[in-house]
Structure 1
Amino acid sequence: MHHLSEMTVDLSEERSNANITNERLDVETNERIKLTRELEEQQEKNRELQNFTEKLELDLIAANSNPNDIFDDEDMGKEENFTAFKLKYDRAVKELEFTKRRMQTQHEYDLDQLVALKKQLEKKLADAYEEVEEQRQVVGQWKRKSQKFSVEMNDLRLLLEEQNSRNTSLEKRQRKFDAECQTLQDSARQEKQARERLGQEKDTLIAEKFTLEQSLAELDLTQEKLSNLQRDMEELSYSEQTEEEITQLKRSKIESERKCKEQEDELDEMAGQIQLLEQAKLRLEMTLETMRKEARHEAQQRDDELEEVRGSFFKKIKALECQLENEHEERTLLLREKHELERRLQTMEQQDHSDRMAEEAANLKLKRDLRKYKALFKDAQIQIDRMKGDVPSKNLIRQLRNQLEDAEAARTLAIKSKQLAESELADVQSMLEDVTRARHESDEKAAHAAREVGELRTQLEENEEELSELIKKYSTTVKQLNSEQLKHSEYETTISELEAEKASLKEHINELNERLENVEVLNDSSTNIQTKRLVLRTKELESKLELEHATRSRLEVQCNRHKENLEKTQTELMHIRSKESLLQEELKKTKKTLRETKEELHASTNRDQDHINKRQEASKKLETTESELASVRNDLRLALQRIADLQQAMEDGDYDDDSSESDLNDLSDGSISPVESTYLQNKRIGSIDLSPSTNSNETKATK
């Protein structure tokens, strides 16, 4: 019991630990969901940054495609204006050709990417359809298996009902056996009452014995009187006697001889009757012995059959319990796999839908980009045609300056968003480290729980061994009880035989008393021999009575001892039955708790596996986002480098111009503003500072 209480305490601690681990796993799942959402937000921000950088590139290309350094002074000379416009025109033509080539290459690259994306999506869709078909086949197989298991469960239910009916029949037999035990107890009680009656009869017999002794003393007196009478007769025979007295004596002698013959005949008849009674007694003893042997054999066979039936039913019940547990576990596994397959089907359908939506969005984006590029191309052609015909006005230059300022502001915003993305990426990495640490702790706790479950299994095996030992002791006590019952029945038969002998002896004593009375009445000398015989016979009968009393007292002591043993065995049997019932209940409770712990452990392992899969997916997404960030940074660096190169080319073109100082003075008013100068300085600083930051980000991504 102490061991079982320790087991219950350990199981409660195990449940509390399992609940704590479940709470921690729920917290981890919530954190992982949060991380996935943040990753999706980062991906959306990266896409927005890419779109923004593309827009900036297009705006810068459109801005650089226009002439930047056109002078608005109308008082300049025509020749100088012509040379300046010619230089600007040549440079614009070169930039236009460069933009045409770049747009063509970009268009080809986008088309290649679109074709590759279409092929990839088609492949993914085909794989998804194949996987869905396989999952449907698997679901069909599991449905067939579940139907098969349901049929087997129905068969097992029928078998259990049969076993229950057999158990009820065995319980009826057990009740019958208990009733027989009750009857035996009642018979023992009756035997006790009979023993008390026999004690009373013993007292009466002792009183009768005392009376017989008194009668024997009177017989001695009569013998003395007879001897005196014989002496008197001898004296009279020598004396003068009359003939009448002689005749009277002869008559009395003849009568006494006749009575002696009659008594001898009666004694012979009594001896024949005694022999017949002894033969009948022997026959009865032999029949009783055979009946006892048959009863013992039948009781032994019945006990063996009961033991075999109990053992077989116990084994069958154990096998059915194990089978039911296995089927319950298989059913739970099937249900979990079914739910997992349904979830995977839903995720695949959602993924398919999202892939289709992404494909449609990509197609729309590509179409939009194509339209945009076509519009830009048309705009560039229109501007080139306009440049050929007209001189740009100051409004166009102001528009270009405004576009440059907008581009500068957008660049600063892009740098800030990049820094924010890097800080959020570092936070995500730290959170992932915390999640891995918590997962390791949960794995250690699961291993500890598995060890505790193993210890509980060993304790259950020890309890089962103790239960088997108790069952063996119970069978031995039942056998002892049966043997005691057989001995009790034998003692009852011997007591009945002794009672019959006692009755016969009483009858014989009564006959002897009658004969003694007859002898006393006769008072003849010829009856001396018969009286001596009767005295010897009475002594033998008294010795037999004493022996019977001794045997009876010994049998009573043995009967009392056997009754005490019977009561002890019955109390032990009841105690063992109560212990067995308690152990069976505790065994059921421990099995139930073990089953619950197994299910909780399996659920925790499934959760851990789900968390591992989610973490792997999150790490993959993080890697993809890092690679996308690296590519975006590279693209941004290239775009900034291109912008700086274009700006440098524009400045070189401005400084290579051989116009007069008056033209430069005119340009100092509005051509190069302080905003443009700060913009160029920031571009240079950004191009210088970008390389170390990108290198550091690349090292982080590789880590």
Structure 2
Amino acid sequence: MSEMTADLAEEHSAATLATERLDAETSERIRLERELSEVQAKNKELNRNSERLEMELLYARSDLNGISEEDDEDNDGENGGVYKQRYERVFRELEFTKRRLRQQHEDDLEQLVGLKKQLEKKLNDAYEEAEEQRQVVGQWKNKVQKLNGEMNDLKLLIEEQSARNNLLEKKQRRFDSETQMLNDELKKEKNAKERISREKEILMTEKYSIETTLADTKLELELKEEKLNALQREYDEITCGERTEEEVTTLRRQKIEMERRLQDQEEELDELASQVQLLEQAKLRLEMSLESMRKEAKKETQLRDDELEEMRGNAQKRVKALEAQLENEHEERTMLLRQKHELERRLASAAESERHDRQGDEVIIRRLKNDLRKTKALLRDCQMQLDMQKADMPGKNVIRQLKNQLEDTECARALAVKSKQSLESELAETQLLLEESTRLRREAEERSNLLSREKSELQSQLEENEEELAEVFKKYKAAVQQMSLDQVALQEQVSLVSELEVERNQLKEQLTELTSKLENAEFMGDASSSLLAKRNEFKVKELESKLDLEQSTRSRLEVQISRLKEAAEKLQAEISASKAREQQAHDQIRKLQRSLRETKEELSASISRESDAAQKRKELEKRLENLEAESAGDRNDLRLAKKRIEDLQVALQGELGDSVSDPSESDLGDSDCDSIDTYMPNHRGSILDSKRIPKKLLDIIMKSKCRTEWLKKVQEDILQINIKNLEDRTECRYKIAHVKFEQKSNRQPGIKWTDERKKEHSDRG
């Protein structure tokens, strides 16, 4: 666009420079015209001065003549010498002044002529320069019009491009708004999830603190109850010491039960340790699987990103290639439209020329019909005269021959009319072929438009698939983030498990201490051992509750892991489905490209066939023009032959009334026949091609006996010419039919040009 504006500015500056030059030349021409008018005024003034001087000279001469006469009369020659000297002196002065004036006048005229020539030369140069500048201005105007047309086309293209850009910007804005909305929703959900998790942790901590306080209060209550029971027992022992043996037995039973319980707790602790080990192994397996899944997911995302980039680049290349193909198709369509307009113009001109030729042929046919009527009238008159003069047999033979010749000319005329009709039908068939080719070209254009629409639909579908892939990747990223969060939670649970293991070890140590204390109590018989056993039982219960909590968290984590696996499988299925859809879209694009290529090949083939048909049609039209020219020449020859026949009829009618010739004339006729026989082979072409028969030869023919032979020879020559023309026309029709059949065989490949068809066309010809 900038180059076009620069060219337009240069052309505008050149146009302004040309207008300035034209203005300067017009001002120069006006100045020169003004100078010419001034010089012409000076010339007129000089002419008036010269005329005035001549008049003064005449007056001076008349005065001198008067003075000389008076002196002659008065003095009678006394003072003649003085006056004569004066006269001579004045005469010399007058001659000198006259010569000087003449010289001055000639110089002025030469100056005027030179000025006039210079002015004419300048005017011619100015006119030539003005004409050149006018031509240059016309050329620049044409260029400006062309550039305006190109600029309008560029404006239309820019408007289309801007409309397309606006549409793409709208789509981009819509996509950005949707992505922003999705991001906002994701942020909201993430914030809500974090808030809920924080609240859950706070509640869990509160619950745990409440449970611990409750357990502590329960322990304190139990301890107080135990202390109360111990005090009560001591009081009972103090009050009644008879039951010591029973208490010892009960203590032994309690010891046995406590040992059994300790064994059970040890077994449970072993089971818990094995479960913790299993959980650790499961945790390691999960960590390894998560790490491998993370690596695989990273690799898959990287591969998908690379594939998407490659697919996007390929799609852009294909879109550019398709745009270039569309531009080429647009240029080809414009060229085809131009060729179509050119062919329509040629067809219109051909139809117009054909109409003029048909009108001329109709005029010729009308003239031939009038000539035929005249010849028929003459023939009837000749027949009447021949019926009246039955004695003269050679005249009848001549008239019969002339009648046969007229019939031959009528047959030739009918053949010419038939050939003209066949040529008209062939021209109509060529027009039908041209219409068929235009129809095929229109169908190809419609097909190309349909393919372009399908291409745009596939492009939009490809964009939708890309959007779906982007959404799937977003979901995948969200799932990966969720998996990372779950992994963090799992690590926290693992840390909790490790803490619980530490607590378990501590409890084991406490258990060993309690067992040692219990043994000491057995030996020592201390009553406080029961309190320690109860404490141990409470601690074991607490451990059991913690173990239940860990089992519930483990089951919950397993459920979350299974859900995450299901989500990952769903994402994999969606990705595979999107890949399948993308592959289908690529297959459809390849099919459309193949169909577009096939339509282009068909279009190029149809264009080549159309160009071949147009070239053959041009050749046939040229051949038809040549044949029409030959037929016009044949008509002229027939007209001349008819004129000769009329002349012969007139001459024969004049000869029929005469008497039979004498032997000397017959001898002369024999000699004339010999001369005609010698003249005819040498001058047959001139006789047939000339406008009239030579007078000498006509006299010889009229006087000779070989009139019928000469007429037969003329008739044979005319028939040979007609046969030759008919052969040329049949050959032309045969070639036209062959061309048409080739065009039909191009449209219908199953048809072949056989010998039967050749024979059929030759029979038609």
Do the structures match in fold with TM over 0.5? Answer: no
Q: Report the TM-score when normalising by structure 1.
A: 0.39
Largest Rg, 1 or 2: 2
Which protein has greater RCO, CA pairs closer than 8 Å, 6+ apart? Answer: 1
| TM-score (norm: length of structure 2) | 0.36
